[in-house]
Chains A and B, each alone.
Chain A
């Protein structure tokens, strides 16, 4: 049998098409370790195992360094500054990196009308949420009222020759609302500098991507905040951060009531109205802070808050299971569990 030239071309094209389907997935190196009080997974594609392992090890050292420096009550930089602030004294010289992050914190505090604030460390300590949440407790009412009377903000923090000081002794710094975003962002920068071009760094569920697999996007499963299974599947490309704040992360029950770690500086109590807020953004610090700010803004005010923070890709879950999706989030995401309460679509804020 002799094929005519057009048929030969067609046969060749079909054969090539079949071959593309046979291309196997790239080898993936996944390193797992515990840092910053949670599980860290560094997944690296397309690198020899030794190169990937060494790169992941550097990420580990970087994250351990942040944990040591920025624990609010530790022996590192932030702990020493907090002890000085509580004593009404100027702290030891602060690093440029910390000062830059606090400058970003001031901007976020301003954009969110004070809802997001790295200055509420003492309130977080009163609730026992400073560590892994296992010491959660309802504070004395008088202690909350006392804190609210002098509610500290970063506006009360001044810088004197690289030292931080404040006249408000209740001002204690806690970077928990956005330091993870900063740390993962730096980890991604480290990987890129080491020649890694395709990776995901996942710290306690929050993650940032670098590059993407050869012939597709990254596939991310989002676990349901309160029920079994995956609530939604997300497909994202390079340089994308996915952060969630939820009422299930550090929480406790007391006299039949549920309390969690996302504290509203206006009331001194946990935010109410939403179970989880997921934000996808190019900037991991913005994604991290915005997920907290949207939880605090609640079901009524979140669109305005998202607009102020410049975030458009948002998924929210209400306590009854209802899912809210912005249009640009819906374009990336497939809901895997349709809730009885329904899925509501929103135009991008």
Chain B
């Protein structure tokens, strides 16, 4: 093995070690946008870096979604159980909150979602 071989070997192994956490580590990419569903239709899609309030109509009334600081949350819902309000801030791709019976869903999207499905 020549000195060049040794140098190449050390560089390659160090490179793989440095890249390991990024390429093979725990999945879960950046949150890019929030997608809001009214019933079975997509109602709106917004980037998470611009604050705004979105009023989403449903069969029971209006569900209000607030987008701020890279995440989204339901701040008001006409449903009796308030489960989607209690879900709190959503900022992980694949995470979502469902407002029933107003049939509004708030979903965080992004490359390489951390979750395939949400269990509740």
Name A's B-contacting residues (CB within 8 A). Answer: 1, 3-4, 6-7, 10-11, 14, 17-18, 21-22, 25, 28, 32-34, 38-39, 41, 43, 132-134, 200, 202, 204-207, 213, 216, 218-223, 226-230, 233-234, 242, 244, 248, 250-252, 278
Other-chain contact of B101, A25, A134, A226, A242 (Cβ < 8 Å): A134
Is B117 in contact with A14, judged by CB distance below 8 angstroms?
A: no
Distance between Cα atoms of A207 and B118 in the complex (Å): 9
Chain A residues near B15: list those with CB within 8 A: 14
Chain B residues near A4: list those with CB within 8 A: 1-2, 5
Distance between Cα atoms of A233 and B95 in the complex (Å): 11
15 sample A-B contacts, Cβ–Cβ < 8 Å, listed by A number: A4-B5, A7-B5, A7-B9, A21-B19, A32-B37, A33-B40, A133-B80, A134-B101, A202-B118, A207-B117, A218-B116, A221-B119, A228-B87, A230-B92, A248-B81
**19 additional A-B residue pairs with CB within 8 Å, beyond A11-B12, A218-B117, A228-B89:** A4-B2, A7-B1, A7-B5, A32-B40, A33-B40, A34-B103, A39-B103, A132-B101, A134-B101, A205-B119, A216-B27, A219-B94, A221-B92, A227-B86, A230-B115, A233-B115, A242-B119, A244-B120, A250-B81
Minimum CB–CB distance for B62 against chain A, Å: 18
Other-chain contact of B39, A7, A34, A220, A234 (Cβ < 8 Å): A34
Distance between Cα atoms of A105 and B83 in the complex (Å): 30
The interface size of chain B toward A, counting residues with CB under 8 Å, comes to 40
Is A220 in contact with B117, judged by CB distance below 8 angstroms?
A: yes
Is A221 in contact with B115, judged by CB distance below 8 angstroms?
A: yes
User: B40 — nearest CB in chain A belongs to which residue?
Assistant: A33
User: B23 — nearest CB in chain A belongs to which residue?
Assistant: A21
Asked if B51 is at the interface (CB within 8 A of a chain A CB), the reply is: no
Hey, what's the 0/1 contact readout for B97-117 against A, CB within 8 Å counting as 1? 010110101000000101111
Minimum CB–CB distance for A239 against chain B, Å: 15
Asked if B44 is at the interface (CB within 8 A of a chain A CB), the reply is: no
Hey, what's the 0/1 contact readout for B1-29 against A, CB within 8 Å counting as 1? 11011001100110110010001100100
Is B112 in contact with A25, judged by CB distance below 8 angstroms?
A: yes
Name B's A-contacting residues (CB within 8 A). Answer: 1-2, 4-5, 8-9, 12-13, 15-16, 19, 23-24, 27, 37, 39-40, 80-81, 83, 86-89, 92, 94-95, 98, 100-101, 103, 105, 112, 114-120
Chain A residues near B92: list those with CB within 8 A: 221, 230
Distance between Cα atoms of A21 and B81 in the complex (Å): 43
Chain A residues near B117: list those with CB within 8 A: 41, 43, 200, 202, 207, 218, 220-221
Is A1 in contact with B114, judged by CB distance below 8 angstroms?
A: no
Distance between Cα atoms of A227 and B16 in the complex (Å): 40
Distance between Cα atoms of A23 and B9 in the complex (Å): 24
User: B98 — nearest CB in chain A belongs to which residue?
Assistant: A39
Minimum CB–CB distance for A106 against chain B, Å: 29
Chain B residues near A34: list those with CB within 8 A: 39-40, 103
User: B112 — nearest CB in chain A belongs to which residue?
Assistant: A25
Chain A residues near B19: list those with CB within 8 A: 18, 21
Distance between Cα atoms of A14 and B18 in the complex (Å): 13
Is A3 in contact with B119, judged by CB distance below 8 angstroms?
A: no
Is B87 in contact with A200, judged by CB distance below 8 angstroms?
A: no
Minimum CB–CB distance for A262 against chain B, Å: 15
Minimum CB–CB distance for B16 against chain A, Å: 6
User: A244 — nearest CB in chain B belongs to which residue?
Assistant: B119
Chain A residues near B98: list those with CB within 8 A: 39
Give the most central of B15, B100, B103, B120: most A CB within 10 Å. B120
Distance between Cα atoms of A39 and B100 in the complex (Å): 9
Q: A222-B119, A228-B89, A229-B88 are in contact. Are A32 and B5 (CB under 8 A)?
A: no
Other-chain contact of A18, B1, B23, B116 (Cβ < 8 Å): B23
Is A221 in contact with B1, judged by CB distance below 8 angstroms?
A: no
User: B95 — nearest CB in chain A belongs to which residue?
Assistant: A221
The 4 closest A-B pairs by CB, nearest first: A228-B88, A21-B23, A205-B120, A221-B115
Distance between Cα atoms of A219 and B28 in the complex (Å): 10
Is B81 in contact with A18, judged by CB distance below 8 angstroms?
A: no
Q: A11-B12, A21-B23, A223-B87 are in contact. Are A1 and B4 (CB under 8 A)?
A: yes
Is B120 in contact with A222, judged by CB distance below 8 angstroms?
A: yes
User: A133 — nearest CB in chain B belongs to which residue?
Assistant: B81
User: A206 — nearest CB in chain B belongs to which residue?
Assistant: B119
Chain A residues near B23: list those with CB within 8 A: 18, 21-22
